[in-house]
Amino acid sequence: MSKSRLPYMYSSFLLVFLIHDAQVGVGLPGFQRFVYSYTGHDAWLAVLAVGLVNQFVVWLMIRTLMKFGDKDLYDIHVMVYGKVIGFTMNLVYIGYFVFAMVIELRNYVEMIQVWLFPTVPQWVLSLLISCAVFYGVRGGLKTVIGTSFVFTCMTTWLVLLLYFPLRYSEWNRMLPLMEANGGQFAKGMLATSFAMIGFEILYFIYAYAKEKSKVQLYSQLGLMSVTLFYTSVMLVSIVFFSGGELLKTNWATFTMLKVIKLPFLERFEFIGVSLWLMVILPNLLFFCWAATKGLKRIFSWQQQYWLYPVIGVVTLASSLINTRIQILMLNDFFSKWCVYLIYAYPLVLYAAACVYVKKRKMRLGTGEARS
């Protein structure tokens, strides 16, 4: 174990919360419309299927990490592929994290403008949230992990709000089942995957977990909680909205909150949109921390100095995306690109890691025989 990492070590139990928070983001408020457009009444089955795929991918990721002890993905790339290809793959992941930050930030800013402050310029909102990200990442990994844990605990109760739309639901809207063919079901899974990514951060925080033997258990529990959460939201959305309504509703999750009427608060969805900042902020913190960590590793410049250009690029890029069509185009492009990096690449990396470890053992065996 590297002595430089000892101050940043965290209990593996926290992975239940970290994985949960990393996966729940800006995709949850409006993923239902896209999944339902492909799979119809089988949308909840598509969500469940993606959750099972995520369980397998994370199992494979951890099996890969276990072969390299306390190394993270940036180290593994260089070890397995060599310096040139390894640095190239590291740049790809850094670009992915920066792109993910832009997508997360711009989608949430749009939600704020539509639901709360339609007249506030988007660059102002982007800058304010980016400043919070800068402050959090500057505090180090423990600040990022602590923020994620606290915010997850503070927002978990929101799942109880599903009770209110259930009171107005019609369960016959779940029928007929198994109406989507294989191609439609695959497209529905693809649309769901965009909302449920985030667990790839495990490639970079695994090295700081204290009890490595328990990482698999707690990570799978975190994934399971996310799968049940998304499936529940999808089921409630199907029985609450008619098919036509669901296809026309951009943020179905928040729209369902309109049925909540309290004596002292008429528009409860305003509270939901505001509290959602505590959900997406840890995502932005993790992505920014991982991106600046990679830049430090490649260019040997202190991580805190890389915060300035990264935050600047993300804020500027988010501010230049002006229309709903541009946002949807970027979301579609990102969802298709991330499938290869998040779901297909772990298979390639695992195979490459197995070959690397086998060759290393052979070299060590040959060296011992000669001595």
pTM for the full model? 0.90
111 pLDDT band (50/70/90 cuts)?
confident
Half-sphere exposure of 233 (CA within 13 A, CB side): 28
Has residue 9 been placed in a domain? no
Helix 73-81 vs helix 345-370: crossing angle, to nearest 10: 60
- 3-class secondary structure, 237: helix
Look over the chain and give the mean of its residue pLDDT values, rounded to a whole number.
86
- Token readout for 179 is 């109406």
Average pLDDT (182-192) is: 87
Has residue 7 been placed in a domain? no
Has residue 2 been placed in a domain? no
Looking up tokens 């503070």 gives 154
Confidence (pLDDT) at 370? 53
- 3-class secondary structure, 10: strand
Has residue 3 been placed in a domain? no
Has residue 79 been placed in a domain? yes
Has residue 150 been placed in a domain? yes
Confidence (pLDDT) at 2? 52
- Total tally of structural domains belonging to the chain: 1
Has residue 10 been placed in a domain? no
Highest mean pLDDT among 93-97, 140-144, 243-247, 299-303: 93-97
pLDDT digits (tens, 9 = 90+) for 129-140: 999 999 999 888
**Domain with 53 in it:** 16-370
pLDDT at 371 over 50: no
Check which CATH number belongs to the domain holding 22 and give it: 1.20.1740.10
pLDDT digits (tens, 9 = 90+) for 39-71: 888 888 999 999 999 999 999 999 999 998 888
Cα–Cα nearest to 269, from 256, 281, 278, 282: 256
7 pLDDT band (50/70/90 cuts)?
low
Has residue 258 been placed in a domain? yes
Confidence (pLDDT) at 3? 54
pLDDT digits (tens, 9 = 90+) for 236-294: 988 888 878 888 888 888 888 888 777 766 676 777 788 888 888 988 999 999 999 99
Q: Please tell me the least confidently modeled range out of 22-26, 113-117, 243-247, 266-270.
A: 266-270
Average pLDDT (200-216) is: 89
pLDDT at 21 over 70: yes
Peptide bond preceding 176: is omega within 30 degrees of 0, i.e. cis? yes
Average pLDDT (332-346) is: 86
- 3-class secondary structure, 349: helix
CB 9 within 8 A of CB 208: yes
